[in-house]
Each structure stands twice: as structure tokens, then as C-alpha cells.
Structure 1
Amino acid sequence: MAARHIVFAVAPDLVLLDACGPLEAFWRAELTVAATAGGGAAGIANGVDGAGAGEAGKAAGSAGSAARPVAYRTTVASIDGGIVQTFPGLPIVTERLDSLADQPIDTLIVPGVPVDEPCTLQPELVAWIRRHATRARRVCSVCTGAFYLAAAGLLDGRRATTHWRDAPHLARRFPNVHVEPDPIFIRDAGRREGEGVVWTSAGVTAGIDLALALIEEDVGHAVAMQAARRLVVFMKRPGGQSQFSAALAAQASANGPFEALHSWMAAHLRDDLSVERLAERTRMSPRTFARRYVDEVGRTPAKTVSALRLEAASRALAESRRPLKRIALDCGFGSEQNLRRAFLRRFGVLPLDYRERFMSAGTPPSETAFEAAQPG
């Protein structure tokens, strides 16, 4: 199978890390596929990394070597080519975008640039994206690269995201775009037949999450997870995950007594966190507390409690093999059934499916398994 051509169309003042993160992810995926090619699909499916594929590769023989791995070929290009100054200042060498006229493009990625209210975009790059986007199987942006896709008309009528700080600006500038400031990335397949797939993502680290999602779409979950491990990324995050952690979002939107309250809530998730209990903690009446909380935080206390508990459970599933019953109790859900319902509502998957998908490679065994293995 021919290599998939990934083109990064960059503008002057490119935010360098917006491009570097995805570039590295594609390279790590290519290394993973190449390292397991001798062992065929079995090596990848079993999570065999690099040198660990040796014996499996020999056993597979000619059947394994006959299947060429899907590789990525990446190009970083700009309108004029040559050296492009980046933010925060490290120059990079690029090819001319016009030199790619006769080359197929599998994935077009537009990384971000610093934006301000006037939002001066390079008109030549906007025009190139508008002309050539249909050549690509999918079009993507990292962070404020969404401004270029919007200016080219590719986001009209679509859901899109960008860095939370720039989301209001994107929405004002391009009112035909349905801007969502919370998700780390969004995949929009369009609403009319023949429309291409457009992916948009939040800031720097979300660009890595986006690339891992693209890799999973191309070559499967196992390769994406191996690429994440090679990157020493703690875990592969789903696109619907919030740009903020629940605790950080709460602390960023409130101060005074509620800042201390949020820290206390995060440390007491299995306790009674009713409005009455929280009001008592802040020395307010329940009615006054509920009104002031919504005014300052922008959501009800119950929604904050739910977000904190769900985030803690997600972290416990990814970082440990603790039984679901224990996680449900520790995180304040009370029962496995409540935990399952919360995960289905928020992520559309059951807790064990979430664990299988996002668990770190180095997750220790469960406490029950550990205790059973001890002598005596």
C-alpha cells in the first residue's frame, strides 16, 4: 500500500509545537508499523513494541513480510517555501505548496498561528486551502489553524473547536461556524453527500491527540497506542474530553470561598456533597449558596460534583486495575450501576471499555490480584 501523504500547510509565525507534536506522532506510528512488519498483524495486535517483535516476525515467515506496512510521508510546506520564522522564533525549512500540485494528499493539516482581534491571515494560504482542500481525504487544523479553515469556507455549517481562549474570537469572526470551546478535538463528516471530513483541535497537546486519532482511523487502535507510548504520552484522550480538567475549570471560574471549596470537594468525593452539605461548608444558607454558586461558577453545584467524580473515575480506570465496585465507592457513585450510567451518558462506552481503550501500558495489577499473589 502506498504511503499516506500528510501535508502540513503552514503560515508565517507558525506556532511550532502545533506542527511538531502531530509530526512526531506520525513518525512514531511509522516506526511502530515498521518494527512489527516482520511479525504481520499479530505483532501489532499483541502490542509488541520494536525489538520485541523479533521472534514473532521470524515465525511469521514469508506471509508476514509479504504485507507492506502502511507508512506515512510528511511534508511541511508554505506559500513561498524556504525558511519560515516560527513562534517563538525557531526557523524551519519548508517546501513550496505549489510544488505539490502533482502529488496526492491524504491528509491536509493547518497548524495554528498567534491571532488577535484583527486576525490578519495570509490571503495566499487561505486561497490555496480553498482551492486544494478537495484533493485531500481529510482536512485538519491544530489550535488557531481553524481560523484558516474557516476563512477558506471549510467550516461553514460545521461543528469546530480551537483553543478555548480563541473560541469566542473564532465565533465572532465566522458566525456560520458552530464553535464549541470545550472538546479537545472534533470530527465533522458534514451533512450533505460528498462533503469531506474535517477535524479541528484545541491547543498544542490536543494536536497530538488529534494525530493519534487519525492514526487509529488509518491503522488501528494498537498502533495508535504504541505510538502514544513511544511518545511517552500518558494516555490517548478521546475527542470529547474537555480542554479543562473539571477541577481546573471550576477553579478558573470562581474565587474566594469557592476556590477552597473545590479543593475540598475533590478530596472528599465519596462524602455527602449535597447542596446542604456544601452550603454548610461555606457557612451560607442552601438557597444563598446555590444562587451565588451559579452566579460565580456558571453551573450548578451538582454539575460540578458530577464532573469531578467522573474525572476521578476516568483517571482511576486509566491508571489502575482497581475493581469497578471500589472505584465507584471511592469516587462517590455509590454503585457500579451508577458508574456505568455516568460513563454511558458522558462517553458512550462502559467503564471497562474505557479502561481497555485508555489504560496506560505501565498500569500496575489490581490490588486484589497483587494480594492474591503474595505468599502466606
Structure 2
Amino acid sequence: MDALKTVACLLYPDVMSLDVTGPLQVFASANVELRRQGRAEAYRLLVLADEAGPVATSAGFQLVAERAWRDCDPAELDTLLVPGGQGQAAQSTHQPLLDWLRTAEARVRRLGSVCSGALILAAAGLLDGRRATTHWADVAALRLHAGIEVDGDRLHTYDPLGRDGDAHVFTSAGVTAGIDLALALVEADLGRPLALAVARRLVMFLRRPGGQAQFSALLTPDANQTPRLLSLLEWMAQNLSADLSLETLAERANLSARSLSRLFVRETGMGPGRYVEQLRLDAARALLQDSGASIGTVARLTGFRHPENLRRSFHKHLAVSPQDYAQRFA
């Protein structure tokens, strides 16, 4: 009996290239580590598309599919990964592919997505009743699918024991989180020492601390999304160390506190207090990354006033300390 596990990844026009190559490289590197240890390889890699041949990625270069997915019996596969990218929307309405994915779900041991590939699984109905994540910019779109428990701050939802995730159908967050997911799959298959060796070779964390919130972009007001709040939001971003209490903001906006709170929720999806904290947190992240400023200086400039307040906010939202964040990203 063939002991190799076949790991397949879909390919389609305008796919995010790293969503495909990142996870597959983890499995390929696992084979390299096994050979170094005098052990047999564990994985066979396969790339599938509508048709065999070259497919243009969103980066402009081409990747080559070995086979057409419609000609592949899912029972041949151990693990199937669905990547994201600019072409995701077209695949989410590609009914033959969605039908094939539904068939595959019942026949493969593991079915997962990378980045916005979760939206393809959602369109196929394969995430109903399950916890799921995706790239932070696509979380709102994923929440439009009723019946999915969306967690926007997870790197992935794979759990071989099924306690805090799913061992059969799972998702991962933005782009490089597909590598985190692949490392978790290798660890489940081959053990922690082998997965650690792969992570070390790829200069990766085996388990990255924190969720994907620590990698999301700065909050910036969008005139199309926040027409009535735009001038206030711009003023807030320029006056982070000022008094940004609800009463002060309401007075500046010439609204009652209750009316301003309702407007904030309608236009930003969160209340004023949460928005202020997030705005200050994003500014603190930027300062720690780019300026080399001390924790105390960052706390003062961004309105947290005291380093301890800054630390609490970092641990609450990013699951890391400001010092660890600065060491990792500065």
C-alpha cells in the first residue's frame, strides 16, 4: 500500500500565489527533513485546476496545474487545500467546482482553506455549523453566510483533537497563515520534533503567538463608509493624546452622546470607546514598528498615558506585549 499522503491544492486564475506555494513548501520541507533523518518521505504534492497546464496568478506569473480537478477522484487525496486571491469571487459561483468540493469533503481526510479561500468553502456550504476564519479584510464577507461561527482573530481553525476547531474541515487567515496551518498539519501527522525542524528551516514560529489582529492595517476613515463621521474620525487620528471621551466627541460632533454612539456603530461597526482604543492601538503599533520609541513615549503619544495601560491593551487585543511586538516587527 502506498504510504505517501497526497496533498492537493487548487489553482485558478488570479489566485494568490503564496496561498498555494507557502503551504505546499511546508509539506515539501517535511519530506526534506525526513530524508535527512534517513526516513521515507510522507507527502506527494499535487496541483489541480480547471484544466492541466499553466494558470496566471494575481502576481502576474504562472503556476502549472498537473491535472484537472474534475478528472481527480477525491478518494485519492489525503488533504485538499483551497487558496484565496483576487479570483476567489469567480470560483465562489463556479457551480461544477462547488459540487466537486462537496463530493470531496466526504472522501478526503482533511479539507482546508487559505485566506479568502474560506469564501469558496462557504459558498459550497461546507462551513455551515463550523467555526471559521479568513483574512481580516474578508471577515465581514464571511459573516454574510449564516450558520458559520466566524472568528476573525484566529490564524487557523485546525485542531486534530476537535476541541478548539475541526480536524476535518478547517480554515486559515491571511496569506502566511496558510504556512501556520500547514505546520500544524505536519505536526499532527509526523510529530512535534519534525514540525519544529521544518519551522526552523523556514525561519518560522511553529505556533505564532497571538492572532491575525496584530497584522491588520491601521484604522483609516473611508469617506464611502463613514460619510457623517469622516471629519471627526480624521480629527481623532490627529489628536490621539487628547481627551477622546464620548462626551468630548459628542460635543465636537454637535450630537448627543446616544446619537453619536448609534452613528459610530452604524458607520464603523463598533462603539466610540472601542474605536478610540483600536485607533490608539494601531498608532502604537506603527510607532513601535517604525520609530524605535520607548514604551513610555509611545503610551504618552497615543493617549494611553501610562505604559501599563498600553500593555493591557496589547495583551487584550494582540495577545503579545508591546516589547515582544517591537522585537518581532520593528
Check 1:324–1:158 CA distance in 2 against 1; reply closer, same or farther (3 A cut): same
Measure, in 2, the Cα distance between the counterparts of 1:291 and 1:149: 34
Q: Tell me the TM-score normalised to structure 1 length.
A: 0.61
Q: 1:255 maps to what in 2?
A: 227
Aligned partner of 1:8 in structure 2 is 9
SS of the residue aligned with 2:15? helix
| Correspondences of 1:293-312 after superposition (within 5 Å) | 293-312=264-283
The one-letter code sitting in structure 2 at the alignment partner of 1:297 is T
Partner in structure 1 of residue 321 of structure 2 = 350
Structure 2 counterpart of 1:115: 89
Q: Does 1:209 align with 2:184?
A: no
Q: Structure 2 vs 1, CA of residues 307 and 165 (structure 1 numbering), >3 Å: closer, same or farther?
A: closer
Residue 130 of structure 2 aligns with which residue? 158
CA distance in 2 between partners of 1:312 and 1:71 (Å): 45
**Which residue matches 1:322?**
293
Work out the CA distance in 1 between the residues paired with 2:235 and 2:182.
39
Over the aligned positions, Cα root-mean-square deviation in angstroms equals 4.7
Counterparts of 1:18-33 in structure 2 under 5 Å? 18=16, 20-26=17-23
In 2, Cα distance between equivalents of 1:319 and 1:169: 31
**Which residue does 1:130 correspond to in 2?**
105
Greater CA radius of gyration, 1 or 2? Answer: 1
Q: Distance in 2 between matches of 1:149 and 1:295?
A: 29
- What residue ranges of structure 2 are gaps of 5+ in the alignment? 188-194
C-alpha spacing 1:335/1:76, structure 2 compared with 1 (3 Å): same
Change (3 A) 1:85 1:240: closer
* Residue equivalent to 2:157: 187
Percent identical among aligned pairs is 29
Q: CA deviation at 1:325?
A: 1.9
In 2, are the aligned partners of 1:250 and 1:304 still within 8 Å (CA)? no
From the superposition, tell whether residues 17 and 183 of structure 1 become closer, same or farther in structure 2 (CA, over 3 Å).
Answer: farther
Kept in 2: contact 1:209–1:237 (CA 8 A): no
The answer on whether the counterparts of 2:142 and 2:150 sit within 8 Å (CA) in structure 1 is: yes
Deviation at 1:110, TM superposition (A): 0.8
Question: Judging changes above 3 Å, is the alpha-carbon distance between structure 1 residues 237 and 248 closer, same or farther for their aligned structure 2 residues?
Answer: farther
* Counterpart pick for 1:175 among 139, 142, 146: 146
In structure 1, the residue corresponding to 2:106 is in which secondary structure? helix
3-state SS of the aligned residue for 1:207?
A: coil
Asked whether the equivalents of residues 7 and 77 of structure 1 are also in contact (C-alpha less than 8 Å), the reply is yes
Confirm or deny: 8 A CA contact 2:157 2:166 kept in the other structure. no
Q: Any idea what SS the aligned residue of 2:213 has?
A: coil
Residue 152 of structure 1 and its aligned partner are, at CA, apart by 5.9
Q: Decide whether the 8 Å contact of 2:19 with 2:115 is kept in 1.
A: no
Task: Work out the CA distance in 1 between the residues paired with 2:200 and 2:138.
Answer: 32
Q: Give the distance between the partners of 1:250 and 1:183, measured in 2 at CA.
A: 22
Give the total of aligned pairs. Answer: 308
Please tell me the residue identity of whatever aligns with 2:22: A
In structure 2, relative to structure 1, the CA distance for the partners of 1:259 and 1:74 (3 Å cut) is farther
Q: TM-score, normalised by structure 2?
A: 0.68
Equivalent residues of 1:32, 1:227 under 8 A apart: no
